[in-house]
Structures are given as structure tokens and as C-alpha cells.
Amino acid sequence: MMKPMRRRSLDSVRNARVTSAEMCSPDDTADLESPTVATKQPAVGLSVWEKMARWGAFYMLVSPYAKIFYYTITLLIFSMLHASGDVPHFEVLTGKYSILNQVFVKQGWGITFAVYVFYQLVSTTLHHKKGASLRRLMAGAVVTTLFFFIWCQVIFPTVEHLTSFCTAKNISVALGKRECLKLEDHEYYSFDISGHSYLLTYCVLVMMEEGKGVLYYLRLGEYLRGTGGVGGRRSDELSIPCWTRPAWVQPDDLTTKSFRMWYPIISPLVALSFVALALLALLWDFMLIITTVYYHTFIEKVLGTFLAIAMWHLIYGQIFRIMGQWKVFVT
């Protein structure tokens, strides 16, 4: 009789530790290694949807600092190509009026927002605390959109307007950008912080954070099959919750029964939306290279990229880490 009582006691302590654990942040990258390890393990018993999710994890769940290092290197290398002036344009892909620029980048945040919110919504149906997950999603959607709007729609245009001047036939005229560009023999000058560099870097880093929830999905699949943790890793390595991923807590019998019914139905939506997230991140990385090679000055691109990285760290490393301790987002 004593052993069952001890087991219940240990379970209650474990659950209390998970509930009160400090939220993970961009600095905590140990849990991000799980998908990489998992993809190297024999995929015995995995559904095609779980295999797709693991493939997407190759690209999405690398260390964010490795991604930042990559952005720094490409910024330096491709900016030197831009400075040489010898890189030809391929208007269909790199032109200012290309479909990629006019459709995808111009609507970049809207597309990113739609994809990551849909992914999180379908993932939430498999969480053990759906209400808390939904509240975190709604709060996160507001905060990430706010920081996009403040910089891309308010601050960057204001800086450009305040630093701009126009000349027509070597005569300075007090005209805005649109009016100036309509004049013959015009020249328009401004300090135009690269909104594309900010937007594309910011979007990818946000999607990488939002994609962490796939670890919970993969762990749940392992649990329902009665096999080990993700890629052979122990469950307690997922016990520290992230803003975008709840802590792993072993479901009770009733919840397990519900998950067994819904997991096969929800799996295609989770996997396909996660792969869409990965493909969109790949497209944004490609568009960022185009921006770096063909547009803006070096300092304008550096500022745009640096501000995106700083905002990502502020949001996921500070703001969400604090909000994650609030009761409304835990229970």
C-alpha cells in the first residue's frame, strides 16, 4: 500500500515542478536539439505525418544563434557583392516589381501571421491545457504584430521622411518621395532603414520560436505508441515549458483515451502546417539574400537586421518569459 502512495506523491511533485518551472527562452537551446537527434533515429512506427514534421524540424529548429550567425555572414558577403555593382538583375526574381517582392514581401507579415497562427491553433487541440495555450497564442499574436507595426509602419517611414530631400534639375524642392519620383531629372535622397531586412529576419525568427511546439506533438506520438521520448530523449527534457510549447506532462487515462482518438485526425493538419511554416521560412531566407545583394546601403541593412534580432530577443527572451509566469497563461 505504501508504494502506490509514494508513486502518487512523486507524480504530484513532478507536476508541481513542471507548473512552476521557469519558461524557456531563446537562450535555452538544449531542447531544440531533440528534432535533430530524432531524425537520426530509426523511424520505426512513425506515421508519414510525423516523418514530415521531423523533416521540417531539420530547417526550423536549429539553434537561433546559429541562424543569427548565418545572417551576419550572408549580410557581409552579399553586401560586398552589392557594393561591387557587377551583379546582374533577373527581373522575374530580383526586380522591384517582381511577384516575389510585390506579393510575398509586401504582404510578408500577413502571410507569416496566418501560417503560424493556423499551425498553433491546430497544435493546441492536442495540448493538455488548451485554454492556457489559446490565451498564449492570442497574446503572442498581438505582441508580435505590434512590434512589426511599430517598426515597419511607423518608425522606419518616419526616419525616411525626416532624412529625405529632393532635387529636380539640381534645385532643391520640398516634395515627398512619391511627388519627387514623378519629376524629370530628379534625385531623391534619404536614410531608408531596410524594412525588408527587418521584416524577413523578424518573420523567420518568430516562426522558429512558434515551431517549437512540434516537439510536444512528436513526444505525444511517441507516448501514444508506448515508445521512448523524442529521438530516445527522456520526457523530463521537455518538462520546461516554452511560450509556444507547453511542458510535457504525462496525460491521465481519460486524457490519453481522448488523445488516441484525436491524434490520427489532427496529425495531418499539424504536420502540413508545420511544413508550410518551414517552406515559408526558406522563402523568406531566399528573399533576404535578394534584398542584401540588390537593395539598400550596408548600414541600412545592418540596422534593419540588428533591430529584428533585438526585437526577437526582447519578445521571446524577456516579455514572453515574464508573461509565461502569469497564472492566466499557465492554468
Higher pLDDT, 48 or 165: 48
Rounded Cα gap, residues 193 and 291, in angstroms: 12
Higher pLDDT, 303 or 88: 303
Query: pLDDT exceeding 90 applies to what percent of the chain?
Result: 53
Compute the residue count for the chain: 331
- Closest by CA position to 265, among listed 236, 294, 224, 293: 224
pLDDT in tens, 9-50: 334 434 434 443 456 767 664 444 444 434 444 555 788 999
- Closest by CA position to 296, among listed 195, 217, 203: 195
DSSP 163: T
pLDDT in tens, 210-225: 999 999 999 999 899 8
Residue 126 and residue 217 in contact, taking contact as beta carbons nearer than 8 Å? yes
HEC-encoded secondary structure of 250-283? CCCHHHHHHHHHHHHHHHHHHHHHHHHHHHHHHH
pLDDT of 283 over the 90 cut:
yes
Residue 197: strand, helix, or coil? helix
Rounded Cα gap, residues 327 and 125, in angstroms: 20
- Closest by CA position to 298, among listed 138, 72, 133: 72
- Cell numbers 491524434 correspond to 263
Rounded Cα gap, residues 72 and 67, in angstroms: 9
Residue 271 and residue 50 in contact, taking contact as beta carbons nearer than 8 Å? yes
pLDDT of 2 over the 50 cut:
no
Sheet holding 171-173, edge to edge: 171-173, 165-168, 186-189
For residue 236, the model assigns a pLDDT of 54
